[in-house]
Amino acid sequence: MPNYRRILTDGGTYFFTVVTNQRIPLFSNSQNIELLQKIIADTRKRYPFEQQAYCILPNHIHCIWKLPEGDHDYSIRWQVIKALVTRELGSKADIEGPISESRKRKRERGIWQRRFWEHTIRDDEDLARHIHYIHFNPIKHGLVKKLSDWRWSSFHDYVKEGYYDEDWGDLEPDNIKGLGDLE
C-alpha cells in the first residue's frame, strides 16, 4: 500500500479536490448540494475552519480552507463531511457507484473516492492561482459559458467584494494553466 505523505501545517491554508466514486454526479441537483453545504456548515461548528473559496461541481468539489492556529487536522473534517453525506445520501441506489469487494470488506459505501487531493498553499500568488482555478472550473468543464450562471461557487462572493468583475472568466486566466492536472 502506498505511503501517503501530507504536509501538516498548524493554521495552514489548503486547496482540496474531493471526487465522488466513479465520478457519479452526486451533486447534479440542488437538494444534494444544499445538503452538502449544510453538512459543511455543521462540520465548521464542530471543527472550525475558514472556507476561502469553493466550487461544487456534479462529481467533485474544489475548495480552499484556512485552519485555525494550532490545528492541522483537515483529514478529520473531510472524514466527518464524507461520512455525513454518505449517511444522508447513501441509501439512494441511483446515486451510489458500484461497491468493490474491498469496499464491502471494509463496510464502505460507493459514494466517494477514498482519498482526496490536498495542496498546501505556499504564498499569496499560489493562493490567487488556486482561487482562480476553483472559480474557472464550471467553464473548464463546459457546465456554463459565464461564471455568473454557476450558482454553486464562491465566485459570486468575490464579485460582491470587488475582487472580480461580473464577466471575469471569459478567458482562461494564464496563471492557472497546468493546474488542470490536479483532477
Q: Which amino acid is at 142?
A: G
**What is the total residue count of the chain?**
183
Question: Which pLDDT score is estimated for 97?
Answer: 52
CA atoms within 13 A on the CB side of 42: 12
Question: Which pLDDT score is estimated for 173?
Answer: 80
Please give the torsion angle defined by the CA atoms of residues 51, 54, 60 and 66, in that order, rounded to the nearest 10 degrees: -30
Whether the per-residue pLDDT at 70 is higher than 90: the answer is yes
Cell of 30: 440542488
**Residue range 75-118, pLDDT digits in tens:** 999 999 999 999 888 766 455 555 556 545 555 556 898 889 99
Question: Which pLDDT score is estimated for 103?
Answer: 47
Cell of 167: 464577466
Report residue 1's pLDDT band, with 50, 70 and 90 as the boundaries.
very low
Q: Which of 27, 17, 23, 29 is nearest to 65 (CA)?
A: 17
Distance CA 90, CA 111 (A): 7
Cell of 137: 472550473
